[in-house]
Amino acid sequence: MTDHSQTNLQSQSVLVTSSNRNAAQRQEESEELALLSIAAAADRKAGDMVVLKVAEVSFLADYFVLVTGYSKAQVRAISQSIEDGVEEQLHRLPIRTEGQAEGSWVLKDYGDVMVHIMMPKEREYYNLEAFWGHAPKVELPDNIDNPRREIEE
């Protein structure tokens, strides 16, 4: 292991161990980020919005947010709306964003929350809800309009 990677590993472990937040607080903050992502997606007319609590069935994240955009431009707009809303309200940026240029499936990785913004055909093909079907769904707030649309052929 190089000195750089050892130093990097040590700084990461210090960051994790120096955290004095308890698990319940972290869980609450993760859920807040997931629901804020849903609200931002709804502002851009996303559909078929789902939040899965995957913390008990995966080490990847605490929550998966799945939303559908009906054009590449809409997928990108939803992605930007989520990033702007989370940064403004929670002062967080994604660790990484994938697929923004292509626009058919954008993944925003916040570490504890992974946001998937997909076109209908990608959403149907990859069927993440079925793959993670054993994870409980989080009920969305009543003020969120969550239309379900059929996939156009």
Q: Residues 40, 81: contact at Cβ < 8 Å?
A: yes
| Cα 80 versus chain centre, distance | 13
Pairing of strands 105-109, 113-118: antiparallel
Tokens of 73: 């431009």
Q: Where are the domains of the chain?
A: 44-141
pLDDT surpasses 70 at 30? yes
CA 130 vs CA 56, 60, 124, 136: distances in Å? 16, 17, 10, 12
- Superfamily name and number for 44-141: Beta Polymerase, domain 2 (3.30.460.10)
**Predicted confidence (pLDDT) per residue in 89-143, tens digit:** 999 999 999 999 999 999 999 999 999 999 999 999 999 988 888 889 988 887 7
- Start-to-end CA distance of the chain, whole Å, equals 52
Q: pTM for the complete prediction?
A: 0.80
